[in-house]
Amino acid sequence: MWPIEPAMTDATTPPSPTLITLGCRLNTYESEVMRSHASEAGLNDAVIINTCAVTSEAVRSARQAIRRAAKDHPGAPILVTGCAAQIDPAMFAAMPEVTRVIGNHEKMQAETWKPATLLAGHEKVRVNDIMSVRETAAHLIDGMEGRARAYVQVQNGCDHRCTFCIIPYGRGNSRSVPAGEVVAQVRRLVETGHHEVVLTGVDLTSWGADLPGAPQLGNLVQRILKLVPDLAQLRISSIDAIEIDDALVEALSDVRLAPYMHLSLQHGDDLILKRMKRRHSRDQAISLTQRLRDARPDMAFGADLIAGFPTETEAHFENSLRLVEECGISFLHAFPYSPRPGTPAARMPQVAKAEVKARAARLRAAGDAALIAHLARHVGTMAEALVERGATARLPDFTPVQIEGDLPPAGRVARTHITGHNNTHLVGTLA
């Protein structure tokens, strides 16, 4: 599944190693696990770069980050991992700046980070066959992001083969963390002071298919809400719209489940969806968003849409453009199509690059207009906002708000009067 928010974080607080995290929220979680393993092993001078492979640009950014890290940390071991490293380890091993290339499975094992294991010998590549991995273990962490929110991995890998996507070859097939282990992790994060917990995975709604009895994601959500009563807010990261189950819809009646979902829609035309090998139709996407709003009137949606997919005509594209309004998407991530070598879509007739760029810009403009309309609907209301850092906070529907006044520490909730917006954020004052 397409990452919800490609981003980079650089955390360098001693005595832990330097972590450079590219890509999705799952990578953010996994970086915290690696930080813990590497710190316990004494690798505090190491630089760990957790890469993303979702686009060619993401791979280019990873190479840039490696070169920059080598300049900023002369003499430090440069350890490269993540999806891009898993998919093309030879490319990264050929870079003189790189000490070791570590696979996506290996990076989560404590044994990997022991200096005697990691730095011994001259073999630069420590990457196994990700398709041979059958389980995803739970990893207990104490949290992240200044205790504003924490991420819990409940699933990894993907069994689907969308024609544009290279990620299954970096993550392997779908595998789930058992419900009891997830609940234990959530409980631990609540005990360490976290207000919000986010469930994350590569194909989140596939959770449970490989577990005894094949439970669905909604069952897991309901179990967390029941067994961790002190959890203030549970949030779900990017999900495949066609796999949302009845129990998940029912769980929306609990106000502790955040009224926000980021949907992996990818396109608004049925023919293009078929060529993408997606499993939903345009009408199903529209019907789903209405069903979720019926269950939770304050629901807000994000979505991924790709512009310029191979064979896309102007008429096909306009169906995507209209989908933004028809589904009521407030937070749109619009991507220009980027061919990934080795995927079926890369072999299809391509749209001219200039047209791809132009359509992506039009799609982003539609997303900007939708966001402004969403922000305007909040003006004049009172809201509970979770403080993140500085003067920034977020409402339960994930709307960002800049708050004037003496805010409580990150991770606390601030009662806020929404006074306006600046086209990207709400603006408010402490109530």
* Res 2 pLDDT > 50: no
pLDDT at position 79: 94
pLDDT digits (tens, 9 = 90+) for 55-81: 888 999 999 999 999 999 999 999 999
Higher local confidence (pLDDT), 161 or 390: 161
Where does 7-128 sit in CATH, by number?
Answer: 3.40.50.12160
Tell me the percentage of the chain whose pLDDT exceeds 90.
69
**Per-residue exposure over 283-294, b if at least 16 CB sit within 10 Å of its own CB, e if not:** eebbebbeebbe
pLDDT at position 115: 86
User: From CA 219, how far away is CA 359, in angstroms rounded?
Assistant: 39
3-state helix, strand, coil in the chain (%, to 5): 40, 25, 40
What average pLDDT does range 87-102 have in this prediction? 93
User: From CA 249, how far away is CA 296, in angstroms rounded?
Assistant: 9
pLDDT digits (tens, 9 = 90+) for 164-203: 998 888 889 999 999 999 999 999 999 988 899 999 998 9
Question: Tokens 């710190």 label which residue?
Answer: 39
| Residue 127 vs residues 81, 122, 153, 238, 248: alpha-carbon distances, Å | 9, 14, 21, 27, 36
pLDDT at position 192: 86
pTM, rounded to two decimals: 0.86
pLDDT at position 144: 58
pLDDT digits (tens, 9 = 90+) for 3-45: 333 334 444 445 679 999 998 878 888 888 899 899 988 888 8
- Please return the burial class of 134, using the count of CB atoms within 10 Å of its CB with bins 0-12, 13-18 and 19+: exposed
pLDDT at position 7: 39
pLDDT digits (tens, 9 = 90+) for 264-277: 999 999 999 999 99
* Res 228 pLDDT > 90: yes
pLDDT at position 325: 96
Closest CA to 33 of 48, 46, 45: 48
* Res 251 pLDDT > 60: yes
Query: Residue 143 — pLDDT band, cuts 50, 70, 90?
Result: low
- What average pLDDT does the structure give for the chain? 90
Beta pairing class for 7-11 and 260-266 = unpaired
Same CATH topology for 7-128 and 132-258? no
pLDDT at position 12: 41
* Res 406 pLDDT > 90: no
pLDDT at position 11: 42
Of the listed ranges 191-200, 361-370, 422-431, the least confidently predicted one is 191-200
Domain boundaries, the chain: 7-128, 132-258, 382-430
pLDDT at position 246: 94
User: Which overall architecture, per CATH, does domain 132-258 show?
Assistant: 2-Layer Sandwich (3.30)
pLDDT at position 16: 79
* Res 139 pLDDT > 80: no
Query: Residue 410 — pLDDT band, cuts 50, 70, 90?
Result: confident
pLDDT digits (tens, 9 = 90+) for 278-329: 999 999 999 999 999 999 999 999 999 999 999 999 999 999 999 999 999 9
Cα 193 to its chain centre, rounded Å, is 22
